[in-house]
């Protein structure tokens, strides 16, 4: 059986695996409808199963599911999610919840990063590892939060607040990560390294805003001028592919660029709901690939090397999110009655953005690269399984 699978032509193998992954979502829906488990968690577990088969049974530890096809599928899925989340930030919504989003998100980010960084330093881990993981801990997986909130059907203030926070969390994450890398570069390699890292972070952030504006303005003008139906669907797909491709080419954050585009389309177009609706109709298959491939990216051979650090990172991040949420709710005095005190726990899901940050940190500090990657990938699987459960608990 192993020989048959390993001798499959690449095209046939990729097509079969795509079909299996989509079929797994049907299985996840069936199990989720009969249990209390979120289908996101089930899809991540399917991905872990793919990793076990590929790395242990087929003895191909370095192989990647779908090879080069997996990365663009994941990127398109994340761009779709970011664009839809950007559409949540309309003027009317920001007028009602904008200050609240800012207060709670900054509280969770500051307290959470300090908890992870200072906690790891107190435990004796190296400075590079502690600072890198503190910055990486800021990132939140918007796909998991958005899918869980939408599946719950909750439209209360807490649900709208969560959608608003995850829409800007990756922007905060890019800023914090860039500053952290700049600070480490400054301390370890002098002023030149710090300045270079700061310039790279500024381009990743500023270039994403510029790209999102350049694509978002004409998209906002075009949206609504086409007839509903197939032309609008083509328009929406073209928009997503352009954002994903050009941002990858320019080396800027595709998530932030997509969010900027979503904000512009939602606020400047009279018929903005058409594009968002068309993307929502085709989003789920891409999210299936994203969640399964996130679980399948676990390197089982290296998990034991960073087990202690992984457990410490998971616990400290949970504590930091909880305390940051408590502080944010306390600071938002006039809205305390409408917000649960454990709202920070609903911001624990973490996936692709955190992995990307870990790869960048590993490239910059190769001596700590293996432990950083193993820690973030292992923690990501835990957060993708535990996170949706916590989101549902907070919403209840």
- Per-residue pLDDT of 180-236, as tens digits, reads 777 777 777 655 555 666 677 778 778 888 999 999 888 888 776 555 555 567 778
- Per-residue pLDDT of 108-167, as tens digits, reads 889 989 999 999 999 888 888 899 899 888 888 777 777 778 777 776 777 777 877 876
Q: What is the pLDDT along the chain (396 residues), one digit of tens a residue?
A: 344 445 666 677 778 878 888 887 888 778 877 776 667 777 777 877 877 877 777 666 555 666 667 778 878 887 887 788 777 777 776 676 677 788 888 888 899 899 999 999 998 888 888 998 998 888 887 777 777 787 777 767 777 778 778 767 766 777 787 777 777 777 776 555 556 666 777 787 788 889 999 998 888 887 765 555 555 677 788 888 999 999 888 888 787 888 888 888 888 876 556 667 777 777 788 888 877 877 777 677 766 767 888 899 999 999 999 998 888 888 876 555 567 778 888 888 886 677 777 777 877 788 887 788 778 877 877 887 788 888 888 877
- pLDDT of the residue at 3: 45
- pLDDT of the residue at 361: 80
Round to whole Å and give the CA distance between 147 and 95: 24
Round to whole Å and give the CA distance between 313 and 118: 11
Judge if pTM exceeds 0.75: no
Distance, C-alpha 62 to centroid of its chain: 24
Round to whole Å and give the CA distance between 196 and 198: 5
DSSP string, 3-53: HHHHTS-HHHHHHHHHHHHHHHHHHHHHHHHHSS--HHHHHHHHHHHHHHI
Domains of the chain in start order, with CATH, are 2-68 (no CATH), 69-395 (1.20.1530.20)
CA proximity to 331, closest of 104, 159, 111? 104
- pLDDT of the residue at 200: 72
């Amino acid at each position: 059986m192993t020989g048959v699978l390993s001798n499959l032509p690449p095209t046939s193998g990729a097509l079969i695996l795509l079909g299996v992954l989509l079929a797994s979502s049907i299985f996840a829906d069936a199990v989720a409808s009969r249990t209390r488990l979120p289908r996101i968690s089930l899809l991540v577990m399917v991905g872990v199963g793919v990793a076990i088969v590929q790395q242990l049974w087929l003895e191909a530890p370095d192989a990647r599911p779908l090879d080069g096809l997996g990365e663009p599928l994941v990127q398109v899925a994340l761009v779709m999610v970011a664009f839809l989340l950007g559409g949540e930030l309309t003027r009317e919504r920001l007028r009602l919840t904008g200050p609240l989003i800012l207060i709670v998100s900054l509280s969770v980010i500051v307290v959470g990063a300090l908890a992870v960084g200072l906690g790891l330093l107190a435990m004796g881990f190296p400075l590079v590892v502690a600072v890198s993981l503190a910055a990486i801990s800021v990132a939140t997986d918007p796909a998991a939060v958005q899918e869980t909130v939408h599946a719950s059907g909750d439209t209360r203030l807490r649900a709208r607040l969560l959608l608003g926070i995850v829409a800007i969390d990756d922007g905060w994450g890019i800023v914090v990560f860039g500053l952290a890398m700049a600070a480490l570069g400054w301390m370890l390699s002098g002023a030149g390294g710090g300045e270079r890292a700061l310039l790279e972070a500024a381009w990743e952030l500023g270039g994403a805003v510029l790209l999102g504006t350049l694509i978002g303005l004409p998209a906002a003008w075009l949206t609504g001028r086409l007839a509903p139906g197939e032309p609008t669907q083509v328009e929406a797909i073209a928009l997503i592919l352009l954002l994903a491709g050009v941002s990858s080419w320019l080396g800027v954050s595709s998530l932030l660029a997509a969010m900027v585009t979503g904000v512009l389309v939602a606020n400047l177009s009279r018929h903005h709901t058409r594009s968002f609706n068309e993307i929502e109709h085709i989003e789920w298959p891409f999210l299936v690939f994203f969640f399964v491939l996130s679980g399948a990216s676990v390197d089982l051979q290296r998990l034991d090397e960073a087990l202690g650090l992984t457990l410490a990172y998971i616990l400290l991040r949970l504590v930091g999110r909880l305390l940051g949420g408590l502080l944010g709710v306390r600071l938002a005095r006039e809205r305390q009655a409408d917000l649960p005190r454990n709202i920070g726990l609903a911001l624990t899901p973490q996936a692709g953005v955190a992995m990307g940050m870990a790869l960048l940190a590993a490239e910059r500090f190769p001596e700590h690269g293996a432990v950083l990657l193993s820690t973030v990938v292992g923690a990501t699987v835990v957060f993708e399984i535990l996170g949706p459960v916590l989101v549902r608990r907070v919403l209840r």
